[in-house]
């Protein structure tokens, strides 16, 4: 792939801060998909769900590794990538051969991007820019620049590609989702060799939000981390008893 496809333009950096997805129970069955009723006896309300959850094994530990990651299968054909879990940012990105100007050590070969560029006018692109600063050098593509609290950063362009997922009910799906093709990375103080970042925030660019907008899951993300290392991550709300969960509202003091 020629580098001229991705002019090295830049945008204002997006801050990374803790944001968790909202909970939603207003869904209608999607034609051709499995649907079933769930009776939330504690509230006497009956909800119809037209989806199932996605479950991922988590690897890593607090000590001595110091980080957690999951494996995502992306591209056509799908290839595995180790992604760092980050509930404090939205965009999922991979170190990308576009070609790469500056990339760091990674477990797998660099991601080769698809030709499906996200245009500047896409709402996902706008969500990655500060209000009033949504400008692109090329309207046919969306450039991004992310800065993280540990001093790390990623500069790249948004593309869409197929993700290979399996529902917990056994059904397979291959949605096309937007992700970052990062061709210029600066490692932060907490750097460790991974293929990219899995953004789990509630912004439009997050994988959870995109799956929710396609009516493939409910807008819920959760994880369980074992004291002995490892754990699991899930998207959707079919893996727990909602009647036994205590919910609290998100703070409105922060955007």
How confident is the model over 80-121, as pLDDT tens digits?
Answer: 999 999 999 999 999 999 999 999 999 999 999 989 999 999
* 50-59, 103-112, 151-160: segment of lowest average pLDDT: 50-59
Tell which CATH classification among 3.40.1160.10, 3.90.550.10, 2.40.70.10, 3.40.50.970 matches the domain 67-216. Answer: 2.40.70.10
Is residue 47 very low, low, confident or very high in pLDDT (cuts 50, 70, 90)? very low
Per-domain residue ranges of the chain: 67-216
* Measured CA distances, 119 to 58, 139, 154, 164, 177 (Å): 33, 6, 19, 23, 13
* 1-5, 28-32, 159-163, 245-249: segment of lowest average pLDDT: 28-32
Query: Which pairing describes strands 221-225 and 231-235: parallel, antiparallel, or unpaired?
Result: antiparallel
| DSSP one-letter string for the chain | --GGGS-----PPBP-----PPP-----PPTTS--EEEEETTTTEEEEE----EEEEEEEETTTT-EEEEEEEETTTTEEEEEEEETT----EEEB-SS-SB----SSPPB---S-BPPTTSHHHHHTS-TT----SSTTS-EEEEE-TTS-EEEEEEEEEEEEEEBTTS-EE--EEEEEEEEEEE--TT----SEEEE-SSSTTSHHHHHHHTTSS-S-EEEEE-TTS-EEEEESSSSS-GGGPPP-PPPSS--
Question: What's residue 13's pLDDT?
Answer: 30
Is residue 251 very low, low, confident or very high in pLDDT (cuts 50, 70, 90)? confident
Task: Check if the beta carbon of residue 194 is closer than 8 Å to that of residue 107.
Answer: yes
Give pLDDT tens digits for 170-224.
999 999 999 999 999 999 888 888 999 999 998 999 999 999 999 999 989 999 9
Residue 145, both tokens: 């620049």
Spatial distance between the Cα atoms of 184 and 103, rounded to a whole number of angstroms: 6
Residue 160, both tokens: 């869409």
Question: What's residue 28's pLDDT?
Answer: 28
Span 23-49, average pLDDT: 32
Span 147-159, average pLDDT: 94
* Measured CA distances, 184 to 48, 57, 84, 93, 103 (Å): 45, 29, 17, 11, 6
Task: Check if the beta carbon of residue 197 is closer than 8 Å to that of residue 111.
Answer: no
Burial grade of 228 (CB within 10 A; 0-12, 13-18, 19 or more): exposed
Span 157-180, average pLDDT: 96
Which carries the bigger pLDDT value, residue 139 or residue 14? 139
Question: What's residue 51's pLDDT?
Answer: 60
Spatial distance between the Cα atoms of 89 and 87, rounded to a whole number of angstroms: 6
């Amino acid at each position: 792939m020629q580098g001229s496809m991705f002019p090295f333009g830049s945008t204002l950096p997006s801050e990374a801060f803790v944001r968790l997805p909202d909970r939603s129970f207003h869904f209608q069955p999607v034609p051709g998909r499995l649907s079933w009723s769930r009776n939330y006896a504690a509230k006497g309300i009956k909800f119809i769900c037209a989806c199932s959850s996605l479950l991922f094994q988590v690897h890593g530990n607090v000590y001595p590794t110091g980080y957690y990651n999951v494996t995502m299968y992306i591209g056509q054909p799908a290839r595995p990538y180790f992604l760092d879990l980050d509930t404090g940012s939205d965009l999922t990105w991979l170190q990308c051969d576009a070609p790469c100007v500056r990339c760091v050590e990674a477990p797998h070969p660099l991601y080769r991007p698809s030709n499906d560029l996200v245009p500047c006018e896409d709402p996902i692109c706008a969500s990655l820019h500060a209000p009033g600063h949504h400008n692109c050098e090329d309207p046919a593509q969306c450039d991004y620049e992310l800065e993280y609290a540990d001093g790390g950063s990623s500069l790249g362009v948004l593309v869409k590609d197929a993700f290979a997922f399996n529902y917990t009910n056994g059904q397979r799906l291959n949605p096309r989702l937007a992700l970052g093709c990062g061709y210029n990375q600066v490692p932060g103080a907490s750097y460790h060799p991974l293929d990219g970042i899995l953004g789990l925030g509630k912004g439009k660019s997050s994988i959870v939000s995109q799956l929710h907008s396609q009516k493939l899951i409910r807008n819920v993300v959760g994880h369980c981390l074992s004291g002995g290392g490892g754990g699991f991550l899930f998207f959707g709300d079919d893996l727990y008893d909602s009647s036994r969960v205590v919910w609290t509202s998100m703070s409105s003091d922060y955007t």
